[in-house]
């Protein structure tokens, strides 16, 4: 297994950006997980961190957690189980009394929803993709928002991870609509939670070499083309830029930002055609 420094660049954020903040991070599996880079950067920025996982993935998450300093506890939480999300919220209240921010870094689609199965995937599979990847953001917000400080005390922040859902991607199939739904959920949560001072945003990352990426057919070709065409270039083994953007959105520096989808993709999303076309 490669070291953390092999896959994550040093954060550009100030060391005390999240000093005294309490953060819950979902979705850590291995040190290559984007969520791992976020948890690591949040700790180095001064935050206290708790991780969540469930089922057989708990072993992987706990092993990865031991590579963080200090080693965070891992709470069991299946985001499709309202009772487990509520239990985690109760444990957070018991430990910390409240919560300043949370990261939704979970997504899943059955195999028949990917790789050219858009026209044939059954509703039962699509429903799983939608619940895990999009609806769970609302489930998480409903339980965690009451733990966050009042507007007068600085409010709180929720951040989701997405993959640009403005266009249709080859072989991504039903994960595309699931991510589009997630981005819409972010906007509606921003509307409903804003009066409480809670900001809700998403980060649209370029293709990164995570465990989840291995399940996407054609991923290698996508990441290779991305690196060639992104105006700033793109390093698919480096989650650091995405982690830094998430830290910004979790921090008070983003106090007037909500309902936003922030692209961290080397500028790829801004192109109407591959670079070099017509030259």
Say whether pLDDT at 192 is over 70. Answer: yes
Is 7 a domain residue? no
Contact (Cβ atoms closer than 8 angstroms) between residue 35 and residue 105: yes
Gap between the Cα atoms of 72 and 69, Å rounded = 8
Is 271 a domain residue? no
In the chain, the number of structural domains is 1
Say whether pLDDT at 94 is over 90. Answer: yes
Q: Which of the residues 108, 135, 172, 188 is marked catalytic?
A: 172
Can 135 be counted among the known catalytic residues? no
Q: Which of the residues 179, 188, 214, 223 is marked catalytic?
A: 179
Query: CATH number for the domain including 74?
Result: 3.40.50.720
Mean pLDDT is lowest, of 37-51, 98-112, 135-149, 201-215, for 201-215
Say whether pLDDT at 272 is over 90. Answer: no
Of residues 221 and 127, more confidence is placed in 127
Residue 253's pLDDT band, with cuts at 50, 70 and 90, is: very high
Is 272 a domain residue? no
Is 53 a domain residue? yes
Is 115 a domain residue? yes
Is 83 a domain residue? yes
Is 2 a domain residue? no
Is 1 a domain residue? no
Question: Is the whole model's pTM more than 0.85, yes or no?
Answer: yes
Contact (Cβ atoms closer than 8 angstroms) between residue 101 and residue 156: yes
Can 188 be counted among the known catalytic residues? no
Residue 234's pLDDT band, with cuts at 50, 70 and 90, is: confident
**Burial letters 122-155, b for 16+ CB under 10 A, else e:** eeebbebbbebbbbbbbbbbbbbbebbeeeeeeb
Q: Could you list the residue range(s) of the whole structural domain that residue 205 is in?
A: 13-266
**Looking at residue 278, what is its pLDDT?**
37
Say whether pLDDT at 155 is over 80. Answer: yes
Phi and psi for 68 in degrees, rounded to 5?
Answer: -95, 155
């Amino acid at each position: 297994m490669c070291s953390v420094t092999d896959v994550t660049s040093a954060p550009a954020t100030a060391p005390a950006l999240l000093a005294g903040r309490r953060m819950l991070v979902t979705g850590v599996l291995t040190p290559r997980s984007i969520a791992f880079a976020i948890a690591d950067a949040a700790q180095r920025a001064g935050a206290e961190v708790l991780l969540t996982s469930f089922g057989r993935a708990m072993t992987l998450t706990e092993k990865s957690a031991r590579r963080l300093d200090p080693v965070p506890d891992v709470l069991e939480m299946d985001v499709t189980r309202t009772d487990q999300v509520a239990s985690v919220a109760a444990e957070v209240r018991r430990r910390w009394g409240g919560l300043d921010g949370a990261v939704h870094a979970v997504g899943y689609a059955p195999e028949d929803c990917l790789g050219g199965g858009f026209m044939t995937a059954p509703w039962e599979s699509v429903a799983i993709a939608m619940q895990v990847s999009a609806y769970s953001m609302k489930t998480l917000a409903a339980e965690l928002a009451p733990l966050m400080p009042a507007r007068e005390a600085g409010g709180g922040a929720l951040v989701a991870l997405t993959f640009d859902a403005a266009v249709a991607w080859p072989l991504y199939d039903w994960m595309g609509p699931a991510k589009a739904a997630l981005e819409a959920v972010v906007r509606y949560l921003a509307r409903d939670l804003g009066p409480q001072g809670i900001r809700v945003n998403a980060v649209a990352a370029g293709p990164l070499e995570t465990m989840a990426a291995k399940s996407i057919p054609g991923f290698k070709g996508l990441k290779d083309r991305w690196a060639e065409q992104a105006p700033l270039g793109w390093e698919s083994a480096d989650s650091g830029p995405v982690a830094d953007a998430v830290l910004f959105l979790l921090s008070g520096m983003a106090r007037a930002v909500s309902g936003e989808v922030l692209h961290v993709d080397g500028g790829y999303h801004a192109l109407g055609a591959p670079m070099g076309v017509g030259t």
